[in-house]
């Protein structure tokens, strides 16, 4: 078969020999530095292909089930767009109230059902461990699009890809995570993933009640990265290369009064950014509520909208990889 694209990542070859063929993506834990370089290489080629030709037939004939038990705009639509840009089709199930879930069907049975019809399942669910449970019953690759306050591996991958594209490197960076570090699953995955790079310093800025979980900090410490916790941003901001802002995860609070106490703990404004480096970026997995003022959006350091776009390329890469096409 003639090669349509001169890329070492998209060989149009024998599926079974592709290194990620049939694998689940449940956590960032298994990824090595070499894996990350590979994924970012594929994502980079996906970017070029989208910019040159928009849509192409790498995954023609493949079907994705997009199973969302929690609200989502970016993650669900970027997975759908990713599949469609690769020529594949999507069964979107985001209104689970219209599916048999509303009749009391268990997650294993719903997943068993979808696995009969599709080649890959993307799942978001409010319970930690739900994606792993789904993977047990699917027999098809399962991609975790957020399991409660657990992990959000594809977001962390696109976050690292964003840093690579924006800063030109993933080594020797001071990354400051700010906001709800307790319930924010994106920072749990990102802190773990950043341990794969050299010269990373991590600062965590959060209210006392929303500190980074010990298990994540222990994993980071095991890898020997310097990390420190703060309740205010002012001391760490001048040294920060990447400021990663998160939303206070209202839906995970049992007591609304506790949410009210911390909801506006930090607000990034142009005045705050005046104290930051010229060569730094502000990221946010989005949606934002009040934690970054809209007045920051025009600042060239505001990378959060570009970050959404990088997500498309990374998700295209991941779908192609688990379906044996990259
Ligand atoms: C995040 C999520 O769902 O964890 N959003 C996303 O996937 N881009 C962050 C959030 O909801 O605050």
Q: Ligand 1 centroid vs 325 CA: distance in angstroms?
A: 28
Span 116-128, pLDDT tens digits: 999 999 999 999 9
Q: Say whether both 157 and 284 belong to one domain.
A: yes
284 within ligand 1 shell (Cβ under 6 A): no
The answer as to whether 66 is a domain residue is: yes
Q: Tell me the per-residue pLDDT of 224-236, one tens digit each, with 9 for 90 and over.
A: 999 999 999 999 9
* Statement to judge: residues 229 and 303 lie in one domain: yes
Q: Tell the burial category of 15 from Cβ atoms under 10 Å away from its Cβ (0-12, 13-18, 19+).
A: exposed
200 CA distance to ligand 1 centroid (A)? Answer: 23
E-state strands within 179-293: 200-205, 227-230, 242-245, 281-283
Q: Whose CA is nearest to atom 1 of ligand 1?
A: 285
Q: Do 103 and 124 fall within a single domain?
A: yes
Q: Is residue 8 part of a domain?
A: no
The preferred substitution site among 76, 78, 155 for testing ligand 1, maximizing ligand atoms within 8 Å of CB, is 155
Q: Summarize pLDDT for 20-56 with one digit per residue, the tens.
A: 999 999 999 999 999 999 999 999 999 999 999 999 9
d(CA 205, CA 295): 22
- Does residue 200 share a domain with residue 296? yes
Give how far the C-alpha of residue 94 lies from the chain's centroid of Cα atoms, to the nearest Å.
18
Q: Assess whether the C-beta atom of 247 lies below 6 angstroms from ligand 1.
A: yes
- Tokens for 232? 């205010």
Query: Does residue 17 lie in a domain region?
Result: no
Q: Is 316 helix (H, G, I), strand (E, B) or coil?
A: helix
Report the pLDDT value the prediction gives residue 214, as an integer from 0 to 100. Answer: 98
Residue 5 resides in a domain: no
Number of domains in the chain: 2
176 and 129 together in one domain: no
**Residue count (the chain):** 326
Cα–Cα distance measured from residue 279 to residue 166, given in angstroms and rounded to the nearest whole number: 10
How does residue 2 score in pLDDT terms, banded at 50, 70 and 90? Answer: very low
Q: What pTM value is reported for the model?
A: 0.94
What percentage of the chain exceeds 70 in pLDDT?
95
Nearest CA to ligand 1 atom 8: 285
Residues contacting residue 108 through CB under 8 Å, at least 6 positions apart: 133, 134, 136, 137
Check whether residue 139 and residue 171 sit in a common domain.
no
**Mean pLDDT for the chain overall:** 94
How many whole angstroms from 182 Cα to the centroid of ligand 1?
A: 13
- Tens digit of each residue's pLDDT (9 = 90 or more) over 268-325: 999 999 999 999 999 999 999 999 999 999 999 999 999 999 999 999 999 999 999 9
CA–CA distances in Å: residue 283 to residues 183, 243, 316, 324: 18, 6, 21, 31
Same domain, 99 and 146: yes
CA of 251 to the centre of ligand 1 (A): 12
Alpha-carbon span 153 to 311, nearest angstrom: 12
Angle at CA 294, nearest 5°, toward 282 and 235?
45
DSSP calls for 72-90: -SHHHHHHHHHHHHTT-EE
**What is d(CA 158, CA 148) in angstroms, rounded to the nearest whole number?**
19
Predicted confidence at residue 1, as pLDDT, reads 42
Residue at token pair 């989005």: 286
Please work out whether the CB of residue 286 comes within 6 Å of at least one atom of ligand 1.
yes
16 inside domain: no
CA of 178 to the centre of ligand 1 (A): 14
Phi, psi of 61 (to 5 degrees): 90, -10
- Domain harbouring 130, CATH code: 3.40.50.1370
21 CB-side CA count, 13 A: 12
- Decide if 212 is inside a domain: yes
What's the distance, Cα to Cα, between the start and end of the chain in Å? 16
Neighbours of 243 (CB within 10 A): 28
Rounded to the nearest angstrom, the distance between the alpha carbon of 36 and the centre of ligand 1 is 21
- With a 6 Å cutoff on the Cβ, whether 75 touches ligand 1 is yes
Percent of the chain with pLDDT over 90: 90
pLDDT of residue 299: 98
- Tell me the Ramachandran region of residue 104: left when phi exceeds 0, alpha when psi lies from -120 to 50, beta otherwise: left
Q: What is the Å distance from ligand 1's center to 87 Cα? A: 26
Mean pLDDT of 49-66: 97
In the block, tokens 């840093």 appear at 163
Instruction: Quote the CA–CA distance of 210 and 72 in Å, as a whole number.
Output: 23
Give 168: exposed, middle or buried? Use CB within 10 Å, 0-12, 13-18, 19+: exposed
- Decide if pLDDT at 160 tops 90: yes
Ligand 1 closest atom vs CA 285: 8
Q: What is the pLDDT of residue 19?
A: 86
Residues 91 and 160 in one domain: no
Residue to mutate, 71, 78, 123, 146, ligand 1, most ligand atoms under 8 Å from C-beta? 146
Structural domain including 253 reads 153-307
């Amino acid at each position: 078969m003639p090669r349509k694209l001169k890329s070492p990542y998209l060989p149009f070859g024998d599926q079974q020999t592709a290194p990620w063929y049939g694998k689940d993506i449940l956590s960032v834990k298994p990824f090595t530095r070499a894996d990350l370089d590979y994924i970012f290489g594929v994502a980079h080629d996906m970017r070029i292909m989208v910019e040159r030709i928009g849509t192409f037939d790498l995954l023609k004939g493949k079907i994705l089930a997009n199973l969302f038990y929690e609200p989502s705009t970016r993650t669900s639509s970027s997975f759908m767009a990713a599949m469609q840009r690769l020529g594949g089709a999507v069964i979107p199930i985001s209104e689970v109230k219209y599916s048999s879930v509303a009749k009391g069907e268990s997650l294993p049975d719903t997943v068993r059902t979808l696995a009969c019809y599709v080649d890959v399942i993307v799942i978001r669910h409010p319970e930690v461990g739900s994606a792993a449970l789904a993977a047990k019953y699917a027999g098809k690759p399962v991609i975790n699009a957020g399991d409660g306050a657990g992990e959000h591996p594809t977001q962390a991958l696109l976050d690292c890809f964003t840093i690579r594209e924006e800063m030109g490197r993933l080594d020797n960076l001071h990354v400051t995570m700010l906001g709800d570090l307790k319930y924010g699953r994106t920072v749990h995955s990102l802190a773990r993933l950043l341990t794969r790079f050299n010269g990373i310093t991590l600062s965590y800025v959060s209210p006392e009640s929303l500190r980074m979980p010990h298990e994540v900090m222990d994993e980071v410490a095991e890898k020997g990265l310097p990390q420190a916790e703060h309740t205010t941003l002012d001391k760490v901001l001048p040294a920060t290369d990447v400021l990663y802002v998160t939303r206070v995860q209202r839906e995970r609070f049992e007591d609304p009064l506790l949410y009210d106490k911390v909801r506006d703990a930090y607000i990034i404004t142009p005045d705050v950014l005046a104290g930051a480096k010229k060569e730094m970026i502000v990221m946010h997995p989005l949606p934002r509520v009040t934690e970054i003022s809209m007045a920051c959006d025009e600042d060239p350091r505001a990378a959060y909208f570009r970050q959404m776009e990088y997500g498309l390329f990374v998700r295209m890469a991941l779908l192609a990889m688990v379906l044996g096409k990259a």
